[in-house]
Amino acid sequence: MPYNPLKTEKEILNFWEKEQIPQKITDFQANFVRTGRKFYVLDGPPFLTGVPHLGHTLTSTLKDVISKFKQMQGYAVWWQPGFDTHGLPIEVKVEEKLAIHSKQEIRKNVSAFIAECQEYTNHGLEVWSPLYKKLACWRGWKQPYLTKSNEFIESAWWTFKQLYNKDLLRWGEKPVWWCPRCQTVLTGYESTDAYRDKTDPSIYIKFPIVNKKNEFLLVWTTTPWTLAANVAIIAHPDEIYIKAKYDDEILILAKKRIEPIAEESKNTNYEILEEFIGKNLDGLEYLPIIDCNQQRELSKNLKTHKVYLSIPLLKQKAAGKIAAKKEIEQEIDFSHVVDMETGSGLVHCAPGHGDVDAKIGKHYGLLSVSPLDDECKFTEKVEQWRGVFVKDADKSIIEHLDKNNKLFFSTTITHSYPVCWRCKTPLITRLSNQLFLNISSLKPKMKKFAKEEVYWSPKFAETQFLNWIDEADNDWPISRDRVWGIPIPLWKDEDGNEEVIGSIKELKEKSTENLPENLDLHLNRISSIKIKSKSGKEMKHCGYTLDVWFDSGSAGWASLHYPFSNIKEQINTPDFIAEGEDQIRGWFYSQMVLSTAVFDQPAYKKCLMSAFVLDEKGEKMSKSLGNGVDPQDVIHKYGSDLLRLYLLWDAPWDRLKFNTKILSKGIKNIIIIDNILNFYKTYCEKNTGKINSDDLKKEDKYILSKINSDDLKKEDKYILSKINNLIKSTTQDLEDLQPHLAIKKIINFGVNDLSRNYIKAIRERIKENKKEKNNILLVLYYVLDRYLRLMALFVPFFAEYCWNQIGKTESIHLQTWPIFNNTLINNQIEQTYELFEEIQERANFLRNENKLSLRWPIEKLTIEFSKQGDKQMRALVEENRDKIKKDGNTINIEIVEKETEKDIMINYKTLGNKYRELLKKIEEYVKSNPKIIEKLPTTIEIEGQDITLETDDIILRSVPVKDKTLSIKDNFNLRISTKETDEVKELRLLAELKRAIQINRKDANLNITNKINLKIKGPNFLKKFENEIKDAVGAKDIGFVDMSLKKRAEYNGIVAEFEF
């Protein structure tokens, strides 16, 4: 029966459950006691906001492969999965369910909302664990850690207290990205994860200069609403500025910007009156452009409403993947705030509404204001638009400017703009009072850890991570004015004194009420608890929750309930993590921040970064586009092994264009390997009987004792060498976190080395004496035993099935990882077989070019060596001409010495840097003097200049020929004969006849031991092949008859009929 993945995987799952295989594997304590070695895999907690997507499936499979590898190596693996159950992602989903549109609605009944969040995340768990099990990911059998659990929250509280005691936390007001819908601060990953193209106003405005009639500073902005918070205007100190007369008004702007602005505004009627250096504008006073309470208050400050000079600010350019791969040095750029590529050369500065503006403001000691409420509506400070959402006010503000002769020109601009990572609302930068974690002091140590103590795969992930450390804000706002999250364990009294609680025990000790044993630590309960300060005053909870990235960032120890559980002492720092490329700015970063701050150690030892899974057109998958693929549907149709095989085939960090047509082709490789198992069972076990258990136990010693004897043939030594080299190389690939390299080698070994080379070579040998059969069986058993253990990581169901097929009763997943034996590695034999494979591949290519089936014998195969050719290679061909003849399915083989016409060329790569201008002349000289190659190195003269030519500077290449029967390469040429002699025709009919009979045997469900009585009607020459036909088709007797028979085979008009 052909291999049926869906049926088999269901049976294997039942077998695992019955034998408690996953439970044995995931019992960390029992395995740690047994082995004394641990491997801590920390599962990056996905949000429980819906069904898992293919990106989750990829990372889960990667983690599972590496974890299985370490488990088979003898490590006690920490398999626990985890889930992020807090934060905006969950809140937004629950808001949709309850038709809630604002934070104020949530505040009306916080307890009810939190209860809904609890229920929503409980339901999400019901989806994930079954998928893990279907994927054969052992973590599916473990209880997950949940960031909403009291144990996790308590550990997060302890973490917070460590930061507080180290004086790394402070309350402060800074401009932050803010979601007006969610009414919360967003930072780091949250504010850089999602962008949308957005059309905004693009206006040039005129700020009146104090005591200068009809003189204005021309300023450009795309955020008219921020003009109400304008504090200063910034000019470039070193650029040339001008006074340009437009009608009866004088505008000041950068000289380099006058023409682009004139062109854009279609107003070229200007006159340049004066030129001066930018620093001359320093201190120039101007009048507010909007008359409102906020601007009137600002005018009272002597530093406000003046021109200040731009300062250089660091702009670290993050290396792209290619740059990082090539190890291109990072480009560090200190650039002025004012540039000459956009705008007018004068920049409006509102320190309360921009990070760069805030840095300028801090440098000059300017005021920072933000007259917005939590919904990003103007407050009474901007009375004209009080209660209006700032972006809705833009149009009215522009009209107001135009009416008051403050608008020079107005248009629009479409640009990429950040939106909320969860609700997709455009973000606003505003001042907000938050609790900040100071990261600037941690960054040097974080970079040191990332460089020296973390192994990154791929290497460019390290570069990207280091860049992000440089670019990330120095202050992380960890407070959130939301309800579904870990409450910040901070209480305050009326005098502003603070108290931080680091455990449930401490909370109960300091609470003013008796708290129950099973106290829920979420905000609806915690916010009602009061504690006594050291001075005896009552303290109230601060009312804030922690940033959800604080939750996952502390998962390395909070998932273990550290320090309230001692398990961390056993497993310590995570040995391995793996997540998607977006986590460079997310989870990879937040972990490193908190681990550095709390423990002064790296957050993890090895990190594997994967890329996104896209649709087959390369577009991001999403429900809205209708191009999403549910991994459950893929598994239901194709099975888990094929999905795993497909996901693992390419480098994890290369974006995968998901295509089920390509995925489905993986079954071909599975079937080839299954056929090897069928061969083993049918030909070996049924012809020789099973090896007894005593022989199996000493197979290693037996193989080693025979390796230098004549008992093992060349093909035996070849396959023993290949399997041990495979073990050696794949082990290193997996240690290097490159599973894609390992699986390709494993599949290639099964399909090519084992099936096409070894099995093909031993088919005739198994018909020889018992000793020969026993040798084959032992070698094949040795190879399959190790090969299937290698496969177990990647296709766990199929490997288990195959393991059972070779007579193993205990699960393959309870076996150890194979160890390579250097004694059995023979590189010379492998090179010989590589030569055979090259000859075979080139001959097959020529067959295909000439439409000659592989089963048809050809009249002759000719291998041509040049006089200066590789003597060792020619000797190998001569020595193995019978094998090459057999593998090539040719009647004759010819090995000849023949020179191939060569074309002499120069090496542009080596000569290009030295003699770029003379390359054509050099090539003309070399082509006209081809014997120069015999004199290298040498010096020639071109246009009076001495040119030194080294050995590598001249290349000889075979001249292409239009001959479909000839394959030309530098090592040797190969030619096939397409001549159809009578002998060729006879052998091709024989091949077609044998194939037709075998197909009919298969249709009749006959196995190899079932003998048939065969009748044949055909040309007389078939009688001389009677014994060959018997052996090939399993015939007991053959009767050559003259009557018509039901079945037929044909070649080129020659027909043979048969029945059995």
224-256 pLDDT per residue, tens:
999 999 999 999 999 999 999 998 999 999 999
Q: Are residues 893 and 910 in the same domain?
A: no
- Residue 10 belongs to a domain: no
Task: Identify the pLDDT of residue 190.
Answer: 66
- CB contact at 8 A, 201 and 222: yes
Domain count, the chain: 5
Question: Span 59-65, mean pLDDT?
Answer: 97
Q: Are residues 674 and 778 in the same domain?
A: yes
pLDDT band at 191 (very low <50, low <70, confident <90, very high): low
Concatenating the DSSP letter of every residue in 56-110 gives HHHHHHHHHHHHHHHHHTT-EEE---EEB--SHHHHHHHHHHHT--SHHHHHHTH
444-448, 690-694, 805-809, 936-940: least confident range: 690-694
- Residue 619 belongs to a domain: no
Task: Give the span between the Cα atoms of 29 and 933, in whole angstroms.
Answer: 70
- CB contact at 8 A, 605 and 574: yes
Q: Helix (H, G, I), strand (E, B), or coil: what is residue 253?
A: strand
Element (H, E) at 40: strand 38-40
Amino acid at 778: L
- CB contact at 8 A, 214 and 248: yes
Q: Are residues 712 and 793 in the same domain?
A: yes
Task: Identify the pLDDT of residue 685.
Answer: 57
Tokens read off for 292: 């409102």
Task: Identify the pLDDT of residue 708.
Answer: 66
Question: Span 944-962, mean pLDDT?
Answer: 79
Task: Identify the pLDDT of residue 189.
Answer: 61
Question: Span 546-554, mean pLDDT?
Answer: 95
- CB contact at 8 A, 616 and 657: yes
Task: Identify the pLDDT of residue 867.
Answer: 80
Amino acid at 228: A
Q: Is the pLDDT of residue 156 over 80?
A: yes
Q: Distances in Å between the alpha carbon of 64 and those of 5, 136, 320?
A: 20, 8, 29
The DSSP symbol for 377 reads B
458-462, 494-498, 771-775, 1010-1014: least confident range: 771-775
Q: Helix (H, G, I), strand (E, B), or coil: what is residue 177?
A: strand
Q: Are residues 731 and 847 in the same domain?
A: no
Q: Is the pLDDT of residue 568 over 80?
A: no
- CB contact at 8 A, 610 and 579: yes
Residue 121 vs residue 335, higher pLDDT = 121
Nearest C-alpha neighbor of 668 from the set 788, 751, 784 = 751
R_g over Cα of the chain: 38
Question: Span 15-34, mean pLDDT?
Answer: 96
- CB contact at 8 A, 150 and 486: no
Q: C-alpha angle 901/907/908, rounded to 5°?
A: 130
pLDDT band at 702 (very low <50, low <70, confident <90, very high): low
- Residue 707 belongs to a domain: yes
Q: Are residues 954 and 1023 in the same domain?
A: no
- Residue 986 belongs to a domain: yes
Q: Distances in Å between the alpha carbon of 766 and those of 198, 760, 769, 774?
A: 73, 11, 8, 9
Task: Give the span between the Cα atoms of 383 and 386, in whole angstroms.
Answer: 5
Task: Give the span between the Cα atoms of 348 and 221, in whole angstroms.
Answer: 7
Q: Are residues 815 and 880 in the same domain?
A: no
Q: Helix (H, G, I), strand (E, B), or coil: what is residue 193?
A: coil
Nearest C-alpha neighbor of 5 from the set 108, 120, 134 = 134
* pLDDT, averaged across the chain: 90
Task: Identify the pLDDT of residue 770.
Answer: 76
The DSSP symbol for 837 reads H
Domain that holds residue 245: 199-352+391-416
Q: Please say which residue of 943, 976, 1009 terminates a domain.
A: 976
Share of the chain above pLDDT 90, in %: 66
Q: C-alpha angle 672/675/807, rounded to 5°?
A: 125
- Quick: pLDDT tens for 780-821: 989 999 999 999 999 999 999 999 988 888 999 999 999 999
Q: Are residues 864 and 1011 in the same domain?
A: no
Q: Is the pLDDT of residue 20 over 90?
A: yes
Task: Give the span between the Cα atoms of 251 and 215, in whole angstroms.
Answer: 6
- Residue 786 belongs to a domain: yes
Query: Phi/psi of residue 1018, each to 5°?
Result: 180, -170
pLDDT band at 706 (very low <50, low <70, confident <90, very high): low
Locus of tokens 């009249």:
859
Q: Where are the beta strands (DSSP E) in 90-231?
A: 145-146, 169-179, 184-186, 195-208, 215-221
The DSSP symbol for 752 reads I
Residue 114 vs residue 766, higher pLDDT = 114
pLDDT band at 919 (very low <50, low <70, confident <90, very high): confident
Task: Give the span between the Cα atoms of 747 and 803, in whole angstroms.
Answer: 16
- CB contact at 8 A, 829 and 737: no
The sign of the dihedral angle between the CA atoms of 511, 512, 515, 519 is negative
Nearest C-alpha neighbor of 754 from the set 777, 780, 724 = 780
Q: Encode 933-970: b = buried (16+ Cβ within 10 Å), e = exposed.
A: beeeeeeeebeeeebebeeebbbeeeeeeeeebbbbee
Q: Are residues 1002 and 934 in the same domain?
A: no
The sign of the dihedral angle between the CA atoms of 1026, 1032, 1036, 1041 is negative
- Quick: pLDDT tens for 265-318: 988 889 999 999 999 999 999 999 999 999 999 999 999 999 999 988 755 444
Amino acid at 831: Q
pLDDT band at 684 (very low <50, low <70, confident <90, very high): low
pTM for this predicted structure: 0.83
- CB contact at 8 A, 244 and 348: no
134-148, 535-549, 918-932: least confident range: 918-932
CATH number, domain at 706?
Answer: 1.10.730.10
Q: Are residues 906 and 855 in the same domain?
A: no
Q: Are residues 908 and 881 in the same domain?
A: no
The DSSP symbol for 197 reads E
- Beta strand pairing status for 966-967 and 954-958? unpaired
Task: Give the span between the Cα atoms of 335 and 1019, in whole angstroms.
Answer: 89
Q: Helix (H, G, I), strand (E, B), or coil: what is residue 418?
A: strand
Task: Give the span between the Cα atoms of 730 and 926, in whole angstroms.
Answer: 46
Q: Distances in Å between the alpha carbon of 566 and those of 557, 561, 569, 692, 840?
A: 10, 8, 6, 48, 61
Q: Is the pLDDT of residue 135 over 90?
A: yes
Q: Please say which residue of 918, 942, 976 terminates a domain.
A: 976
Question: Span 376-399, mean pLDDT?
Answer: 95
Task: Give the span between the Cα atoms of 918 and 279, in whole angstroms.
Answer: 51
Task: Identify the pLDDT of residue 192.
Answer: 64
Tokens read off for 805: 């097929």
Share of the chain above pLDDT 70, in %: 94
Tokens read off for 1024: 């001389």
Q: Are residues 775 and 895 in the same domain?
A: no
Query: Phi/psi of residue 997, each to 5°?
Result: -65, -40
CATH number, domain at 1029?
Answer: 3.30.2320
Task: Give the span between the Cα atoms of 479 and 502, in whole angstroms.
Answer: 17
- CB contact at 8 A, 865 and 972: yes
Q: Is the pLDDT of residue 1007 over 70?
A: yes
The sign of the dihedral angle between the CA atoms of 1044, 1049, 1050, 1056 is negative
Task: Identify the pLDDT of residue 689.
Answer: 47
Q: C-alpha angle 1012/1016/1018, rounded to 5°?
A: 160
- Residue 719 belongs to a domain: yes
Concatenating the DSSP letter of every residue in 1043-1054 gives S--SEEEEETTE
Task: Identify the pLDDT of residue 331.
Answer: 44
Task: Identify the pLDDT of residue 700.
Answer: 65
Q: Helix (H, G, I), strand (E, B), or coil: what is residue 491?
A: strand
- CB contact at 8 A, 742 and 733: yes
Q: Helix (H, G, I), strand (E, B), or coil: what is residue 342?
A: coil
- Residue 876 belongs to a domain: yes
Task: Give the span between the Cα atoms of 620 and 610, in whole angstroms.
Answer: 15
Task: Give the span between the Cα atoms of 742 and 858, in whole angstroms.
Answer: 37
Q: Is the pLDDT of residue 778 over 90?
A: no
Q: Are residues 222 and 303 in the same domain?
A: yes
The DSSP symbol for 346 reads E
- Residue 56 belongs to a domain: no
Q: Helix (H, G, I), strand (E, B), or coil: what is residue 609?
A: strand
CATH number, domain at 328?
Answer: 3.90.740.10
Task: Give the span between the Cα atoms of 31 and 73, in whole angstroms.
Answer: 12
